[in-house]
Structure 1
Amino acid sequence: MALLIVRGELDNLNFYNISTGLKSLNPDSEYKIEELYEVVQDLLESGELDSLVLPTEIKLASLDNVEIEIDGEIIEERDFNLVNREFLELIDLSEDEEGDIYLFRHYKGEGEFSYEIDDDFDLKKISFDYIDCSLNFDQFDVLRESYLQTFCDSIIIDSLKYDGEELEFEDFIFEPQLVRDELYIVKEDKESGVKILEKLIFFKSKSSSIS
């Protein structure tokens, strides 16, 4: 078997519907946005948030910040296929209510992930799902928010397919060096009826290093 490795700067994104989580914790409580952020930070530090609500997790790698190799030989972006995905497909908001609050937790760091593929592989049969901002950002002006910049021109790490068949990680190593937290609110785009996430600006985003 041959080993395909992607190595470099990676992004691990977690989206929590904290409205759902806090309702299960205390259904009668209402929070101001400033208070909500502090409550969420306490739940994160205690580890309780993950037991209240399962996050949507998305692993990304910008092609500008990684190298892709097969058995030690570097391969270029033009050598394999990129299949465009809509970022609105990645975070399912269909069951959420307008006004629900999301926590966006972004881990950035160095890492690598690898897959085993057949020795007689054909590069043209290798594909990754890809977020092409030149296509996606033309849809809604309101989508020009900071979390979408992270998606921009990135491959989705766990989307590798060979000849149309999904492959599973052989190994995944990630060392987060920076974490950023932001809050977003579910809104419905008036023209399209599509639910989107809009950044809340009532507080400073928190960004910190991980030692």
Structure 2
Amino acid sequence: MKTIYYYYVRHGETIFNLENRMQGITDSPLTSKGIEQILQTTEALRNQSFNSAYTSPLPRTIQTAKLILEPHHMHVKIFDSLREFSYGSWDGNIKNESDPEYQYRFSNDLFDDLGGENPTMIQQRIQNAFSELRKLSHDQDKVLLVSHGAYFRHLLFSLMKENIPDELLHRECLIGNGGIAVFKDEDGNFSLVEGPLNQAEYMNRHAND
């Protein structure tokens, strides 16, 4: 039996976050607030030991991961399957909640006809990713993952749909910028251990660790 603990962090605030844009796989740099958020995340995770660390290939997550890992003197590995959900040609568009087409596409995650993804595509990508991560990890490993907001939502529904706490089911944004969530894989059975929490919440919970 192999149990792996994943510490999932969302990147810091970006320019596109400020502008209310659909980021997807189009990159946008961290804001000064975003960098400050990740410095807080770094402090929250300072006393946590990691066996390995992986990041989405997008610059906003790579920068986030490098900041978090500075006190740990670790290098992060690029893991392409952690990249954000793709909105295709809509990547970078301003979110328009009053547009019926936007409402339909966003509520159903249907962007494959625009060169992006649909729920089946990202579900398969996530399942393949964690199958590979399981092979790369050892029993009781603690693995840092730095990725994205929409990816985290799809991760929950792809890997642990039956175990999602009720209070998360109807939240549009499940994890904030720099937020932390801990979940575990017990021989392919995934469950949420903690969070998602913001940096202050995580630090308060682990003040005596």
Q: Which has the higher helix share?
A: 2
So what's the TM-score if we normalise by structure 1? 0.34
Greater Cα radius of gyration, structure 1 or 2: 1
Could you tell me the TM-score, scaled by structure 2's length? Answer: 0.34
Structure having greater relative contact order (Cα 8 Å, sep ≥ 6)? 2
